Structure 1
Amino acid sequence: MNHLDTPTQETGPALDNGAGAPLPVPHVYRGRTVSGDAVMHVSRDLGKRFCTPAVELDNLVWSRTQAGPAFDLPIAQVIDFLVELGPRLHLDANPLMQQALESMIEVSPLGRRILENCYRDIPNLFARGVIEDELRVSLGDSSVIDGWMPRTLRGRPSRLRAFPPRLVHILAGNSPMVAAMTVMRAALTKGVHLLKLPSNDLFTATAILRTMAEIDAAHPLTQSFSAAYWRGGDENVESTLYRAQYFDKLVVWGGESAVRHAMRYAGPGLELVAFDPKVSISLIGREAFASEELLRQVARAGAADVQSFNQDACNASRYQFIEGNEDGADRYCEYLAAALGEDFRYGDGQGPVVPNDIREAVDVLREMEPFYRVFGGYDGKGLVVRSDERVDFHPICKTVNVVPVQSLRDATRFATVATQTVGIYPPQRAAEVRDALACAGVQRIVTLGESISDGVGGYPHDGMFPVHRFVKWVSEEAGDNSPSVSTR
């Protein structure tokens, strides 16, 4: 395969006016860290300059003529390695993670506090209980990934294996947890994995892989991962890499444009596994009005769901439907707008200001009271719009649309296949709407205020169990007990 050695300039936001040197972004090839400044780029969100070494294409693939490094590694040893990795990722003890955090602040809009909370929570994803639950629920019997598991169907013997895959992971950068979840799940498949770094998280994945190399650079798991950055859409790289001769599946996170771009390469032998862009909602029952103090508490739980990574995550609530009349909804909106101005673990009380297109749309709605009412402001501390029907703009930057409904059942008509998470208060009322929500396409139902979770440890993600989807299911049905074939 050819190397790409020609420096390029990525188009994107305005440069940072040359203030300071560009951030160095290393690549990791099977336990080997490679640094360099051959290619200059600009980050997507903050317009920060950064540089990378030239992409070594031949180090990003594994030959199909031989098994991957961990294909035959016992799954018990995989788990032991991941469990050892977890404590090594603690922020206070790991200079690589510390350096990654400081560099992330330069390219991520989340800010130091939220990023530090993420980094401190990453080791939890590698706890033994989490890993074992993820494997057990995804694959059932772990022996199915260690070898050819015998089984009998309708009296006919056969053997089944969850065969290790060859995957490209096109990562999203709206949360550092994406990189950590990917490494944990990918390792459980025992396959080979190329991580395509996003420009708003250039450092988390490589810090994890470099820590794996510090534990054992020659370990089969360490040898099973590579990570590199190239500009998304660079056909010089992607038209070469995204081929069935090298990989089985493209695993893509991100917005609609990222998913549609990856779809161009999917085809026979190269499957697409997509964590699609999603929208989440909240359903609030009339029980919230039992007292003003309870309503205030429920509004704070609703704000917690909005605040997921400053409303930049798929599980962040954007539309909230409350059982009651407009007067009751307005009281809830007042408390919600106030709660949005508070800090949460993964959300800032002072977030990004509301963009001009939403401001213009809301200014028009202000003129239409009492059909619409607006609470809060455009300063990034929280904006809430109460309306009888859902607004026609997409709420972002801590903007919430609250709609009063006669019943929670009525609110289910607003759920679609693009709805990921639904937070419900009180939680016992989930039983009356869960079937209708599932029919509409919803993938996750939680208690209001609990939309943020690690998403691993045996829970489905976007309507699937990722490890189950990542592996290649192969059936071997030959053998002495196969029925004879009649020649007559």
Structure 2
Amino acid sequence: MIKCIPMIIKGVVQDFDNNACKEINLDSGNKIKLSLLTEDSVLRSLNSKEKVDLNLNQIVNFLYTVGQRWKNEEYNRRRTYIRELKKYLGYSDEMARLEANWIAMLLCSKSALYDIVNYDLGSIHVLDEWLPRGDCYVKAQAKGVSIHLLAGNVPLSGVTSILRAILTKNECIIKTSSSDPFTATALASSFIDVNAEHPITKSMSVMYWPHNEDMTLPQRIMNHADIVIAWGGEEAIKWAAKHSPPHADVLKFGPKKSLSIIEEPEDMEEAAMGVAHDICFYDQQACFSTQDVYYIGEHLPLFLSELEKQLDRYAKILPKGLKNFDEKAAFSLTEREGIFAGYDVKKGDNQAWLMIISPTNSSGNQPLSRSVYIHQVSDINEVLPFVNKNSTQTVSIYPWEASLKYRDKLAMSGAERIVESGMNNIFRVGGAHDSLSPLQYLVRFTSHERPFHYTTKDVAVEIEQTRYLEEDKFLVFVP
């Protein structure tokens, strides 16, 4: 039996229509059917803009309530989600449960939700009140309709995208990826479970359309956007830019690469453990995943020996997901290429991981799937040519003290994040995401400026412009 996934429009699960759906063959060998847009579903989606007339406290409390359900291992929605990730997307049980755990963490972290608003927008009150700022009062308003074009490789990126829009009181129209149609649907459905009539629930729509087919109906959805948040590869980002309306900002989270720097560690086990985590999390499908390791120092063989142990450890505690024939073939091809080039190549049992020790100027295929190139260098200057603006996202470093020495050079070269090894998937509150403070793009600021009799620090008289023009006394204003 083929699983059918209906769309959700403004918090209401729609009846599945076998005459308006697309059958998708997944890499796992299973098939699913996804609802497609119809004239009726487009009209219902665009019928009215749902305003989230809530204060931030009410928003955070609702998300926390939903998160408490995800925290409960017996919650039916959570159990179904884990089962779907395993059966249809090939996740290991450990990977699937970790994904559900992270959803619970993001929703339940009330302090972090407040802090995200505070650090991105400057105050937790600016969404609810007029705040004095300089010579004005300022308030942040939701952009309106946020359209999220999600990728399927990192489910939590979609959850993060949606939460940012909810925190800023935007309506969400979520276009899921055919490679992960489950996460956004599960999240929106859990809102329905908690309160089907809640303003946040009613502001959520989840749908799907193919990028390479008739764009007539999807374009009508896109034309409705006030802000577009695009995730994915180069083609997905180009599609978003092409089909977004001229008035809408496009927030792009496109393809990036990441690397690790290890500087002659005293604790080889701790260093290798952090690198192994940064390689294994999401099987390198994420932008923050380490693909290259640069080792500064003389004891590389000791590090490699310990890294083998840690990669084997992760093969047990966080097993890889199911790989299809093409992915396995790419893995084998990369291994053979490394051997043919004369590099030292090491691999785990059953393609659990792959290490290729090669010069910095070598380039080879990168099949991901826990494959890493390791380069021995003499100092940081040999690493900097491989840190590039707009393409290098995360640089993870061990020991932490080394990051303090190198952060200025790394930042000037184009690195967007600098973290301790083993922390690449933890985006600390207050940090930038791809060099941006995303919530600033999800709001518009309105300023209410003070009247003429308000005197400023530089102009200590009332601003009587007509009088000063008549008397030619403009220079009174000049400090």
Q: Do these two structures clear the TM 0.5 threshold for a shared fold by scoring above it?
A: yes
Identify the structure with the greater helix proportion: 2
SS of the counterpart of 2:410?
helix
2:194, 2:338 → 1: CA distance?
A: 58
Contact 2:11–2:188 (CA<8 Å) still a contact in 1?
yes
2:122, 2:104 → 1: CA distance?
A: 25
Quote the residue 1:253 is aligned against.
231
1:272, 1:213 → 2: CA distance?
A: 29
> How far off its partner does 1:451 sit?
1.3
TM, length-normalised to structure 2? 0.85
Paired residues for 1:160-199 under 5 Å: 160-199=139-178
Quote the residue 1:60 is aligned against.
45
Quote the residue 1:119 is aligned against.
100
> How far off its partner does 1:319 sit?
0.3
1:479, 1:31 → 2: CA distance?
A: 44
**Partner residue of 2:55 out of 61, 70, 74:** 74
2:277, 2:91 → 1: CA distance?
A: 16
**Partner residue of 1:416 out of 346, 369, 388:** 388
> How far off its partner does 1:358 sit?
5.5
1:77, 1:104 → 2: CA distance?
A: 31
What do the CA deviations read for 1:234-268 (whole angstroms, capped 9, x no partner)?
Answer: 4133222111xx21111011111211111112352
2:271, 2:428 → 1: CA distance?
A: 26
1:109, 1:253 → 2: CA distance?
A: 21
Contact 1:89–1:122 (CA<8 Å) still a contact in 2?
yes
> How far off its partner does 1:350 sit?
7.8
2:132, 2:321 → 1: CA distance?
A: 57
Give the letter aligned to residue 340 of structure 1.
L
Contact 1:443–1:462 (CA<8 Å) still a contact in 2?
yes
1:47, 1:485 → 2: CA distance?
A: 74
Name the CA shift for 1:182/1:69 in 2 (closer, same or farther; >3 Å): same
Give the letter aligned to residue 63 of structure 2.
L
Paired residues for 1:272-311 under 5 Å: 272-286=250-264, 288=265, 290=266, 294-311=267-284
1:391 to 2:362 alignment: yes
Quote the residue 2:285 is aligned against.
312
> How far off its partner does 1:28 sit?
1.5
> How far off its partner does 1:433 sit?
0.8
1:44, 1:362 → 2: CA distance?
A: 26
Quote the residue 1:449 is aligned against.
422
Name the CA shift for 1:364/1:210 in 2 (closer, same or farther; >3 Å): closer
Paired residues for 1:266-415 under 5 Å: 266=244, 268-286=246-264, 288=265, 290=266, 294-325=267-298, 328-343=299-314, 347-348=318-319, 352=323, 355-357=328-330, 359-369=332-342, 372-376=343-347, 379-395=350-366, 396-415=368-387
Contact 2:284–2:369 (CA<8 Å) still a contact in 1?
yes
> How far off its partner does 1:44 sit?
5.0
TM, length-normalised to structure 1? 0.84
> How far off its partner does 1:329 sit?
2.6
Name the CA shift for 1:297/1:449 in 2 (closer, same or farther; >3 Å): same
Greater C-alpha Rg: 2
Q: In angstroms, what is the RMSD of aligned CA positions?
A: 2.7
**Partner residue of 1:48 out of 27, 30, 34:** 30
2:363, 2:88 → 1: CA distance?
A: 31
1:205, 1:93 → 2: CA distance?
A: 20
SS of the counterpart of 2:373?
strand
1:102 to 2:87 alignment: no
1:346, 1:199 → 2: CA distance?
A: 28
SS of the counterpart of 2:13?
strand
Contact 1:248–1:271 (CA<8 Å) still a contact in 2?
yes
SS of the counterpart of 1:272?
strand
How many residues are paired up?
449
> How far off its partner does 1:188 sit?
0.5
1:226, 1:481 → 2: CA distance?
A: 48
Give the letter aligned to residue 218 of structure 1.
E
Name the CA shift for 1:139/1:459 in 2 (closer, same or farther; >3 Å): same
**Partner residue of 1:152 out of 109, 134, 137:** 134
> How far off its partner does 1:25 sit?
0.8
> How far off its partner does 1:423 sit?
1.1
SS of the counterpart of 1:167?
strand
**Partner residue of 1:134 out of 116, 124, 138:** 116
Q: Identity percentage over the alignment?
A: 23
Quote the residue 1:3 is aligned against.
none
Contact 2:225–2:245 (CA<8 Å) still a contact in 1?
no
1:23, 1:350 → 2: CA distance?
A: 21
Contact 1:169–1:196 (CA<8 Å) still a contact in 2?
yes
Contact 2:56–2:127 (CA<8 Å) still a contact in 1?
yes
1:465, 1:80 → 2: CA distance?
A: 23
Name the CA shift for 1:470/1:344 in 2 (closer, same or farther; >3 Å): farther
**Partner residue of 2:67 out of 74, 78, 86:** 86
Name the CA shift for 1:183/1:267 in 2 (closer, same or farther; >3 Å): closer
Contact 2:172–2:204 (CA<8 Å) still a contact in 1?
yes
Name the CA shift for 1:381/1:357 in 2 (closer, same or farther; >3 Å): closer
> How far off its partner does 1:485 sit?
5.9
> How far off its partner does 1:464 sit?
1.8
Name the CA shift for 1:54/1:399 in 2 (closer, same or farther; >3 Å): closer
> How far off its partner does 1:457 sit?
3.9
> How far off its partner does 1:438 sit?
1.0
> How far off its partner does 1:357 sit?
4.7
Residue ranges of structure 1 left out of the alignment (5+ in a row): 1-20
> How far off its partner does 1:377 sit?
5.8
2:286, 2:276 → 1: CA distance?
A: 14
1:331, 1:350 → 2: CA distance?
A: 29
Contact 2:277–2:314 (CA<8 Å) still a contact in 1?
no
Contact 1:167–1:249 (CA<8 Å) still a contact in 2?
yes
Contact 1:107–1:199 (CA<8 Å) still a contact in 2?
no
What do the CA deviations read for 1:359-379 (whole angstroms, capped 9, x no partner)?
Answer: 44543442443xx22122684
